[in-house]
Homo-oligomer: A and B are copies of this chain.
Amino acid sequence: MKSNITMRDIAEKLGVSSVTVSKALNDKEGVSADLKLKIKKVAEEMGYRFNTVARAMKDGRSHNIGIIIPERFTGMTQSFYLNVYQSLSKSLEQKGYYGILHILSLNDEKSLVPPRIYLEQKVDGLIVLGQTNKAYIEMIQSVNIPVVFMDFYDEHTDMDSVTTDNFYGAYDLTNYLISKGHKEIAYVGNLYATSSIQDRFLGYYKSLLEHGLKRNDNYILNDRDEEGKYVDIELPDVIPSAFVCNCDQVARLLINKLIELGYQVPEDVSVVGFDNDVYATIGVPGLTTVAVDVEEMASIAVRFIDEKMKDFSKKFGRVQVKGRIIYRDSVSSPLTVSKKT
């Protein structure tokens, strides 16, 4: 492995000082245009590669941003966060940052162990992607580098977070079902599991309220236990004409269950999901759902980190990014005749 070329090597070759080389290569003032060109040419020829570490040492900024994803969101089927990570990675690169992924283990979360990337001053900022427990949020908020939360928020009023507009998305979707003529609409999701599920529920509920439809407690269906493990969905005695599911995966599970029971989707029952992930397009019928604007979310989170880097006290609060409805084949107008066998 040949040792690396430094600015000093270039300087010596040209009989100038390394200060001048630094100025030339960084397009700073204080070098004649002639010399600058010559320096750049020689740098190129010698295969010079800029040493980011030395720069980091000087200005105290690594230009690395840590992205923390709690372990429980990283299972095989949960590709959403990895997609977000990818978008973040792209957005960071555009601003000259680099993302370092850290999977937060259940243990470290419980024991409130700060991520090693922080303890070793490996990163200038942190993006927490996915809900952690409250104590962990507080711990991470107390850190002396910028922190932005993604895809969740909680009662801590001083946290900066970027989430998809769950409330509006579910509201929009439910309005759509109602416009199609549905009056009996169930919601599927454990209201106590995550803030997303809660907010989507509230959006659904607002739509009911606005249209003067009564909320029916039997139409709020549980889909998972407290650890997030899916449980069998217990259907009510009277099947409603439409279901708003808190996510596409659950919508797909529900559809499979309904089909097994002899119902046809969307002829007998309409079902909508949320996320527009694989589960929306795999299987028949394709799901009408809300597509989350992952790239926009990533781009905003990165901008926030960047601005907080310049002014640590800057606050953005809770920012919501609107998604949009993707229309597929899982919704139709309800049958007017009684549909219970």
Contacts of A1 in B (CB 8 A): 144-145, 312
Answer yes or no: A256 CB below 8 A from chain B CBs.
yes
B89 and A103: CB pair below 8 A?
Answer: yes
Within 8 A of B (CB), among A41-55: 49-54
- Does A25 lie at the interface of the complex (its beta carbon under 8 Å from any beta carbon of B)? no
Whether the pair B99, A4 counts as a contact (CB closer than 8 A) is no
CB atoms of A121 and B278 under 8 A apart: no
Whether A98 contacts B122 by the Cβ 8 Å rule is: yes
Asked whether any CB of chain B lies closer than 8 Å to the CB of A93, the reply is: yes
CA distance A116 to B95 in the complex (A): 13
CB of A137 closer than 8 Å to a CB of B: no
Q: How many copies does the complex hold?
A: 2
List CB contacts (< 8 Å) of A124-164 with chain B.
Answer: 144-145
Partner of A102, one of B77, B93, B118: B93
Q: Is A283 an interface residue (CB 8 A)?
A: yes
Residue A206 at the B interface, CB < 8 A? no
Cβ of A166 to closest chain B Cβ, rounded Å: 20
Instruction: Select which of B64, B83, B118 is within 8 A of A49 by beta carbon.
Output: B118
Distance between Cα atoms of A103 and B90 in the complex (Å): 7
Bound CA–CA A93/B117 (angstroms): 10
Q: In whole angstroms, how far apart are the Cα atoms of A2 and B120 in the complex?
A: 16
Looking at the assembled complex, report how far the CB atom of A22 sits from the nearest CB atom of chain B, in whole angstroms.
15
Complex Cα spacing A135 to B330, Å = 46
- A residues 64-80 with Cβ under 8 Å of B? 64, 74, 76-77, 79
Q: Is the CB of A53 within 8 A of B51?
A: no
Contact status B256-A284, CB under 8 Å: yes
Q: Do the beta carbons of B86 and A82 come within 8 Å of each other?
A: yes
Chain A residues in the interface with B (C-beta under 8 A): 1-2, 4, 49-54, 56-57, 60, 62, 64, 74, 76-77, 79, 82-83, 85-86, 89-90, 93, 98-103, 116-122, 144-145, 252, 256, 277-279, 281-284, 312
Can you list 7 pairs linking A and B with CB atoms under 8 Å apart?
A52-B62, A52-B120, A82-B83, A86-B101, A86-B103, A98-B100, A283-B283
